Chains A and B, each alone.
Chain A
Amino acid sequence: MDDDVERLNRLLDDLAAERDPRERAELSATEVELAQTAAFLKAAHGERSTPSEAFVERLGRRLAAGSSTETIARQRTARMLTTTLAAGLLACSLTFPLTGAPTPAHAPAPAAGLAARDRAACLAIWPAVQRCRADLTTVTGDHQQASAKLNAVQRAPRRLGPDARRMRNVCLAARVNRLNFAAGARHTAARRVKAELHAALVDMAESACDCTQFAHDIAGGDVGAAAVPLECSASARTAATAHMRMVTSYVH
Chain B
Amino acid sequence: MMDAEALYRAHVRPLYTFIYSRVGNRETAEDLTSAVFIKALTHLDPTREEHSLVAWLYRVAHNAVADYWRGGCGARVIALEEVRTAPQTPPATDVGREEQTATRARALLARLPENYRTVLSHRLLEGLSLAETARCMGTSEGNVKILQHRALKRAAELQEDDTVDG
Spell out A's residues near B (CB within 8 Å): 4-6, 8-9, 12-13, 15-22, 26-27, 32-46, 48-51, 55-56, 59-60, 62-64, 66-67, 127-128, 191-192, 194-195, 198-199, 202-203, 232-236, 238-239, 242-243
Nearest Cβ distance between residue A246 and chain B, in whole angstroms? Answer: 9
20 contacts between A and B (CB under 8 A): A8-B149, A12-B124, A12-B148, A18-B25, A19-B25, A27-B71, A35-B69, A39-B21, A43-B20, A43-B21, A43-B102, A49-B17, A50-B13, A51-B20, A59-B37, A63-B41, A66-B38, A195-B77, A235-B74, A235-B77
CB within 8 Å for A4 and B24 given contacts A191-B72, A194-B73: no
Nearest Cβ distance between residue B102 and chain A, in whole angstroms? Answer: 4
> Which of the four size classes fits the interface of chain B?
35 or more
* Residues B67-98 near A (CB distance < 8 A): 68-69, 71-81
- CB atoms of B73 and A44 under 8 A apart: no
- CB atoms of A37 and B159 under 8 A apart: yes
- CB atoms of B148 and A8 under 8 A apart: yes
Chain A residues near B148 (CB-CB < 8 A)? 8-9, 12
| Extra pairs beyond A35-B24, A44-B108, A64-B5 (17, CB < 8 Å) | A8-B149, A9-B148, A19-B25, A20-B25, A39-B24, A39-B25, A40-B105, A40-B108, A40-B159, A44-B106, A49-B20, A50-B17, A59-B34, A195-B74, A195-B77, A232-B77, A235-B78
How distant is the Cα of A51 from the Cα of B32 in the complex, in angstroms? 12
How distant is the Cα of A67 from the Cα of B131 in the complex, in angstroms? 51
Q: Mark B125-165, 1 if CB is under 8 A from A, else 0.
A: 10111100000000000000110110011011001000000
Nearest Cβ distance between residue A190 and chain B, in whole angstroms? Answer: 9
- CB atoms of B145 and A63 under 8 A apart: no
- CB atoms of B42 and A242 under 8 A apart: yes
- CB atoms of A43 and B105 under 8 A apart: yes
- CB atoms of B17 and A43 under 8 A apart: yes
Nearest Cβ distance between residue B41 and chain A, in whole angstroms? Answer: 6
Chain B residues near A22 (CB-CB < 8 A)? 68-69, 71
Which one of B22, B77, B79 contacts A39 once the chains associate, using CB atoms below 8 Å?
B22
CB within 8 Å for A13 and B17 given contacts A5-B146, A37-B156, A38-B24: no
Whose C-beta in chain A lies nearest to the C-beta of B68?
Answer: A22
